[in-house]
Amino acid sequence: MNLSSKYEFSLEVDPRRTRDTQLKILRDFGFKRISLGVQDFDPEVQRLVNRTQPFEMTERITELSRKLGYTSVNFDLIYGLPKQNLQNMKRTIKKL
């Protein structure tokens, strides 16, 4: 049975650890939706939660996902992290 014709598969990835070949293989298996763990783009917030990833890394994975045919690209943000405030969260949202 081909489940991908009946259901929509989604996955969440960490842009720091996701490789191009992984995205292609998962798309070939029928995944159509992808969620990228962003949390926040503020360097100080990222450092404090041990999740350093430049915007360009997320941008590259986003563009590749669209090129490979993922129909939905989602970004996971977290509010309430150490040293986070409304201003840096607004900057993160504007980048997306």
pTM, whole model, 2 decimals? 0.86
Label residue 31 exposed, middle or buried (CB < 10 Å: 0-12, 13-18, 19+).
Answer: buried
- Please tell me the total count of domains within the chain: 1
pLDDT tens for residues 60-72?
A: 999 999 999 999 9
Q: Computed from CA positions of residues 37, 41, 42, 46, in that sequence, does the dihedral angle turn out positive or negative?
A: positive
- Tally the residues of the chain: 96
Cα separation of 14 and 37, whole Å? 5
Task: Say if CB 77 and CB 39 are below 8 A apart.
Answer: yes
pLDDT category, 7, cuts 50, 70, 90?
Answer: confident
